[in-house]
Amino acid sequence: MTKTIELKGVQQRFHARGTAGGYLTAVDDASFTLSAEPAQVTSLVGQSGSGKSTIARNVLGLQKPTAGDVLYNGKDIFQLSRAEYDDYRRNVQPVFQDPYAIFNPFYRVDRVLWKAVKKFGLASTREAGLALIEESLRAVKLEPERVLGRYPHQLSGGQRQRVMLARVHMLRPAFIIADEPVSMLDAQVRKLFLDILLDFQRDHGMTTLFITHDLSTVYYLGGDVMVITKGVIVERGPVDTVMHEPSHPYTKLLLDSIPQPDPDQRWTDRIEVDELGEEEKAEAKLASTPETPVI
């Protein structure tokens, strides 16, 4: 059976003083499906505060939605049995934004790799575990002898992020949930990181939900894209189509906000994003509904 992650009408509200009704809606009626076969890259793009990371937490089971369902192979992830939950945890792996905060500074970086080996029974002997770790480090363009035995502060941000990719490589999950994983990396390391994600898709059949505010990385990865603003997914489709023929005003604003590489062209415009009304939300939902439920 093909593994799937499906969001159906997910809404996430948070209590907030001074707001209408006493709450803030971070995600409003979000619905989409990710499929492990064929492996694909789907990007979720929007400005800061648009609800992207909240959706990531919903998908990872870190935040139970106020309404709606997050389904893994058709079952609510918050009602999985122990065996089903273990399968979910192995097959849905996160890569977070901050390469400085994902490691405990008191432990060597080896620890996150050995914990995965032991937790998921990836090797029967220490020698086999070490061989697996070294293989996965090389797969993400790291030299094991220059990484193993070191503390987090002895590695660069790009190296730390790739150690987490090595952990993903060891587990071979069906899905990667990457929440702004390259926003703190320089351009050269950013390209290397994106290339590794594409290698994982091509060589190991991993589907990635790539969450970002950067349209250039979305274009580089290709695949499909969903555009979100104010918690509402307003447009979705193939990257080339959305980038070259955007149908929603917000998508057009995002594209217009990209600075042009022309020193003679001054960037003076400011983007104002208005709150979506109920009628606009309904139109956005209709416009963003794909012809097929799997993207």
**What DSSP element (H or E) covers 177?**
strand 175-179
Residue 291, pLDDT score: 46
Terminal C-alpha separation, the chain: 17
Tokens of 85: 């939950």
Calpha distance 107→130 (Å, rounded): 17
| Cβ density class 109-135: b for 16+ within 10 Å, e for less | bbebbbebbeeeebbeeeeebbebbbe
- List the single range of 147-151, 224-228, 276-280 with lowest mean pLDDT: 276-280
Model confidence pLDDT, tens digit, residues 148-178: 999 999 999 899 999 999 999 999 999 999 9
Give the domains, in start order, of the chain with CATH numbers. 4-288 (3.40.50.300)
* Total-model pTM: 0.86
Tokens of 232: 């509402």
Calpha distance 200→147 (Å, rounded): 21
- List the single range of 15-19, 64-68, 154-158, 234-238 with lowest mean pLDDT: 15-19
The strands making up 4-15's β-sheet, listed across from edge to edge, are 23-35, 4-15, 67-72, 75-76
SS3 label, residue 142 = coil
> Is residue 244 scored above 60 in pLDDT?
yes
pLDDT band at 295 (very low <50, low <70, confident <90, very high): very low
Per the prediction, the chain carries an average pLDDT of 88
Model confidence pLDDT, tens digit, residues 192-207: 999 999 999 999 999 9
Calpha distance 147→100 (Å, rounded): 16
